[in-house]
Amino acid sequence: MDHIRENPSGITITDISKEMGYSRNTVSKYIAILQLKDKIYSKSIGRYNLYFSVKTSFIPKNTIISVFKAFIKTLKETLPNQGSIYKELGKKFLQHFEYKFGKSLMKEFAALKKVSDPKPHLEFFKKLYPSFNFLQDTMEITEMRFEKNNKKAIYRFKNSEFLETHDDYIYYFYIVAGIAEAYLSEELSRNVECEIIEIHVRDKKENSYVDMSIEIE
């Protein structure tokens, strides 16, 4: 069942057999039992019989990220050199997407709203962002530095699923900039500007990074 659920586009008996290390006869027996119990169903596609879960409770993370990557690459090919447009897309995206943070984070954020000094807000963003970007467990903000009397902070993003040895997916970060700017502006009721400062793509993925700034007036 785990193998079938983790392959929402369908999986064959042969594939299950290879991945689990059981014979095709053994897998076929349990497939038949699961079908009798209405846990799975099959489709004939070409010369293959593919098996699917009757109740798909989740979509694998790698599938979602693959869809995002394909979408972003398509946008980049259609509208190249248009970072500002992707930032606006991020702002609009936030109007139609609701994500609830944990109670402890929101309690801390609520207390900060009474603080006029921008620095605590900028420090808090470093903690808040990884919680929001739940699809990327490995992504991290490795560096943070302040400018303009602590009204502006530069964040360095590394180990992102969207940072490769090429620039196919870099507009993801412009979308992130738009989301961050719109969210912080609304929550803080202050003028916030978020910009992509530098994008460094290297021969090794671990050496690639993006620098993004947030300035709070």
Q: Please tell me which residue, 109 or 103, carries the higher pLDDT value.
A: 109
Residues 40 and 102 occupy one common structural domain = no
Residues 71 and 172 occupy one common structural domain = yes
Average pLDDT over residues 129-133: 73
pLDDT number for residue 62? 80
* CB of 176 closer than 8 Å to CB of 90: yes
Average pLDDT over residues 69-86: 92
Q: Please tell me which residue, 128 or 148, carries the higher pLDDT value.
A: 148
Residues 14 and 100 occupy one common structural domain = no
User: Tokens for 52?
Assistant: 């699917």
Residues 198 and 137 occupy one common structural domain = yes
User: Rounded to two decimals, what is the model's pTM?
Assistant: 0.73
* CB of 86 closer than 8 Å to CB of 71: no
Q: How confident is the model at residue 134 (pLDDT cuts 50, 70, 90)?
A: low
Q: How confident is the model at residue 100 (pLDDT cuts 50, 70, 90)?
A: low
pLDDT number for residue 123? 93
- Cα–Cα dist 93/85, whole Å: 12
Residues 36 and 68 occupy one common structural domain = no
Residues 117 and 151 occupy one common structural domain = yes
- Cα–Cα dist 53/41, whole Å: 7
Residues 47 and 70 occupy one common structural domain = no
Host domain of residue 29: 2-53
Total domains, the chain: 2
Residues 34 and 141 occupy one common structural domain = no
Residues 26 and 98 occupy one common structural domain = no
The whole-chain average pLDDT of the chain stands at: 88
CB atoms within 10 A of CB 31: 20
Residues 80 and 146 occupy one common structural domain = yes
* CB of 127 closer than 8 Å to CB of 144: no
User: Tokens for 8?
Assistant: 């929402």
pLDDT tens digits along 19-75: 899 999 999 999 999 999 999 999 887 778 889 888 766 677 788 889 999 999 999
User: Tokens for 86?
Assistant: 């992707």
Average pLDDT over residues 179-207: 93
Please count the residues of the chain: 217
- Cα–Cα dist 121/112, whole Å: 7
Q: What is the CATH number of the domain that holds 35?
A: 1.10.10
Residues 103 and 196 occupy one common structural domain = yes
pLDDT tens digits along 145-181: 999 999 999 999 999 989 999 999 999 999 999 999 9
